[in-house]
Chain A
Amino acid sequence: MLGKTAGGLFWMFRYLERSENTARLIEAGQRIALTRSSSADDEWASVLQSAGAYGGFVDIHGTEISRDGAIDWMLRDSDNPSSVLNMAEAARNNGKTVRTALTREVWESINENWMTLRDALARKVPERDLPDVLALIRQRSAFVRGAMHGTMLRNDIYDFARIGTFMERADNTARILDVKYYVLLPSVVAVGTSIDNVQWQTILRSVSAEGGFHMTFGQDARPREIAQFLMLDKRMPRSLAFCVGKIRDNLGYLADDYGARLSCHDLCDQLAEHTMSHAIDEIIELGLHEFISDFLKSLASLGSQIETDYRFYN
């Protein structure tokens, strides 16, 4: 496989994942805005931060953040490289570059994803249409994933696509935790107040984990358990441990397939060990915020080591 193709697959699936995650974050933000009594526009700042879109927004629009402004920036602003619309186009352009590595079904689904979102996001989305548009974004990326599961060979092409997906997802979950870690700290006294309940629900919603959490822990959301669930639970498909485990698996398949272990394999092992070797109480004791910052840093170095080892660019 060409190095460029490996890179194209990796990024195609990262972008696809990112656009889906952004839609999920907007949904959670909108939910808070609708269920909170006080003016909740400050919530959009933290949604923007979780989506990694805060800095860019402030550079262009300033620190005055409105609901409409934030949503439009994340969905369709051409100045935001991570807007859903830009992601859909970037994913499709990468798909075009790696067209020969994809089945017709996968290519058509990523192409249709772009065509559909381009139309749906051609104009500012009115509030009444927002739920439908967000659902459409998630549905379209589910189609791509479905086409991929159903039609692609399980070879190195698949491995790079999966690695891209889980790198992005791990990054996303970690970023949500990074922005919201303070609500999960037991030292915060306001436990049990309705505001905090809303915050916790938001966190769970923004990773589509509400149902899974309640199934596991019942109706009573306690911060420690939420942290445990999103970081360490091996069954929860968006937890840090799950994502890192998948990255390690797929890098392992590549090592078997190519008959070579590279530097990225060692880095990934270290990251996995670091992520999974602590109990949640220990992590909170050591510092939740520090733990997550370290995680994000290690994840980024792993990403660039993979690029180097598999010759994405040179």
Chain B
Amino acid sequence: MWGQDSALRDAYSDFNTWFEGQEPSRLRKKQAEAERLFRLTGITFNVYGRAEATERLIPFDIIPRIISGREWSRLCRGIEQRVRAINAFLHDIYHRQEIIRAGRLPVEMIAKNAAFLPQMIGVSPPGGVYTHIVGIDLVRTGPDEFFVLEDNARTPSGVSYMLENRETMLHMFPELFSQNRVQPVQNYPRQLRRSLAACAPAMSGDRPTVAVLTPGIYNSAYYEHSFLADKMGVELVEGHDLRVVDGRVAMRTTRGYQPIDVLYRRVDDDFLDPLNFHPDSALGVPGILDVYRAGGITIANAPGTGIADDKAIYSYMPEIVEFYTGEKALLKNVPTWRCNDPDSLAYVLDNLAELVVKEVHGSGGYGMLIGPTSSKRELEEFRRKLKAKPSNYIAQPTLSLSTVPIFTKAGLAPRHVDLRPFVLVSPQGVDITPGGLTRVALKKGSLVVNSSQGGGTKDTWVLED
């Protein structure tokens, strides 16, 4: 909230005036009210591996994170460039693989990668879109200085929190929104539906049938799946509602089977089609991949997009952006050591205490090491893991992240945050909702923002200029 020289940053000035006029006791009441609202709406997530209390709330902090309109538009140019490059990369990887021929990406990055789907070779998805929905995880290190931590090109989640956090703030502090000109996020579901419909296969009519595929009510993100289906006004289906009928994927309705044109799936590639992938998956639809390859359905995101957001590929993103757009990447990449390279591994092992080490295919903040906050024993344990399977890891320096304030019992206190803006891609263009999901490490000094590891969320404001 305060810049490096402690001068109040512009974007926060109106908010701060308001905040100083508030009774702390009223704000504490509001904080409790927010929690009640979330429980009532059912915005919970399920924690795996716990028998009891499986539904938990992600803690919500009532202090918004505020971004100026000017800073946001600069950021958007970088995001759009990156997302276009990711799509071009995916098309290339599953077709001519020019980037490998040009020697800009080593062939083993693809050939040996579990996220690469040979079934997708030569398949062109409707509208040429691979990643219909992308979430780019960013951290801010200074004014106009953002680093990309991670690209989420498979099934990025969290957008329901972006929307519900805003609803909650509107409900609790209406006066803030009359005083500040905050760009709305509420159009997201409508834009999502429009964007998905625009990617329908050529054979579908004027009003393509869209559906959301969920693994079911026990999935950790089920709330979000039902939320999006509800807001888009489309059916929320599970694998057992679907079947291939006459060369189309169709859902069982009270009046018989009805074909689906666009399936927004929130089920991983592996479970999508028991005939083509995981044979014992009950979450998917037998034969859906064959329908897809024949052009009978759009699957969003396309199968096989994981190859673009894998943590080892990440380190090549500057090259990838340059290769497909002909421009220098606008968003910075965190310098990354790929541990499968012997020199890098040696460096990482020598400097383990200063680095962050992540599993190439890990997510949710699990299986990572944060050098500066780890004990000797933890460091040694990781050293063994690294030596045993170097290609499973990458390492990055710890960044000096900027902080934003949260509301604590003792008043405002700075905490580390990241930001996940949500990006929609269709043949009509790239659409970035002004805002996103701000995740915050609630523990003092902590750098881990994942909800599964004690992180929380905040409303994210992009101001009108």
Q: What is the interface of chain A, defined by CB distance below 8 A to chain B? A: 1-6, 93, 96-97, 99-100, 104, 107-108, 111-112, 115, 156, 258, 260, 310-311, 314
Contacts and interface: CB of A to CB of B under 8 A. Distances in A.
B4 interface: no
A138 B42 CA distance: 22
A100 B39 contact: no
Contacts of A4: 238, 240-241, 252
A65 B412 CA distance: 59
B222 interface: yes
11 contacts: A1-B253, A2-B235, A2-B252, A4-B238, A96-B217, A100-B226, A112-B40, A156-B254, A258-B254, A311-B253, A311-B254
B57 to A, nearest CB: 12
Interface string B29-54: 00000000001111000000000000
B462 interface: no
A3 B226 contact: no
Given A2-B235, A2-B251, A100-B234, 20 more contacts: A2-B252, A3-B241, A3-B253, A4-B252, A6-B254, A96-B217, A97-B217, A99-B230, A99-B236, A107-B42, A108-B40, A108-B41, A111-B41, A111-B42, A112-B40, A115-B40, A156-B254, A258-B254, A310-B254, A314-B252
B299 interface: no
Contacts of B222: 96
B156 to A, nearest CB: 21
A111 B254 contact: no
B264 to A, nearest CB: 13
Contacts of A108: 40-42
A99 B238 CA distance: 13
B419 interface: no
B229 interface: yes
Nearest to B37: A108
Contact of B237 (A2, A93, A111): A2
Contacts of A5: 235
A258 B256 CA distance: 11
B207 interface: no
- Summarize B's interface: helix, strand, loop or mixed: mixed
B26 interface: no
Contacts of B237: 2
**A3, A108, A111, A310 — most chain B CB neighbours (10 Å):** A3
**B234, B241, B255 — most chain A CB neighbours (10 Å):** B255
Contacts of A104: 41
Contacts of B226: 96, 99-100
Given A2-B235, A96-B217, A100-B236, A111 B40 contact: yes
Interface in B248-288: 251-256
Contacts, number: 55
Contacts of B39: 115
A97 B39 CA distance: 17
A54 B237 CA distance: 37
Interface of B: 39-42, 217, 222, 226, 229-230, 234-238, 240-241, 251-256
Contacts of B238: 4
B254 A100 contact: no
A111 to B, nearest CB: 5
**B39, B217, B234, B254 — most chain A CB neighbours (10 Å):** B254
Nearest to A104: B41
What are the 8 closest A-B residue pairs judged by CB atoms, nearest first? A99-B226, A100-B230, A310-B254, A3-B252, A96-B217, A100-B229, A6-B254, A100-B236
A255 to B, nearest CB: 12
Contacts of B229: 100
A80 B241 CA distance: 30
A112 B37 CA distance: 11
A197 B245 CA distance: 62
Contact of B241 (A2, A93, A96, A258): A2
B216 to A, nearest CB: 8
A260 B229 CA distance: 28
A97 B42 CA distance: 13
A100 B255 CA distance: 18
Nearest to A260: B255
B254 A93 contact: no
A310 B256 CA distance: 8
Given A96-B222, A99-B236, A100-B235, A3 B254 contact: yes
B398 to A, nearest CB: 40
B253 to A, nearest CB: 6
A260 B226 CA distance: 30
Nearest to A309: B254
B252 A258 contact: no
A311 B252 CA distance: 7
Contact of A311 (B41, B230, B256): B256
Contacts of B241: 2-4
A156 B226 CA distance: 19
Contacts of B236: 99-100
**A1, A2, A115 — most chain B CB neighbours (10 Å):** A2
A156 B234 CA distance: 16
A111 B226 CA distance: 14
A168 to B, nearest CB: 20
A228 to B, nearest CB: 37
A314 B39 CA distance: 34
Nearest to A258: B255
A94 to B, nearest CB: 9
Contacts of B235: 2, 5, 100
Nearest to A108: B40
A97 B240 CA distance: 13
A115 B255 CA distance: 35
A213 to B, nearest CB: 39
B252 to A, nearest CB: 5
B25 to A, nearest CB: 26
A303 to B, nearest CB: 16
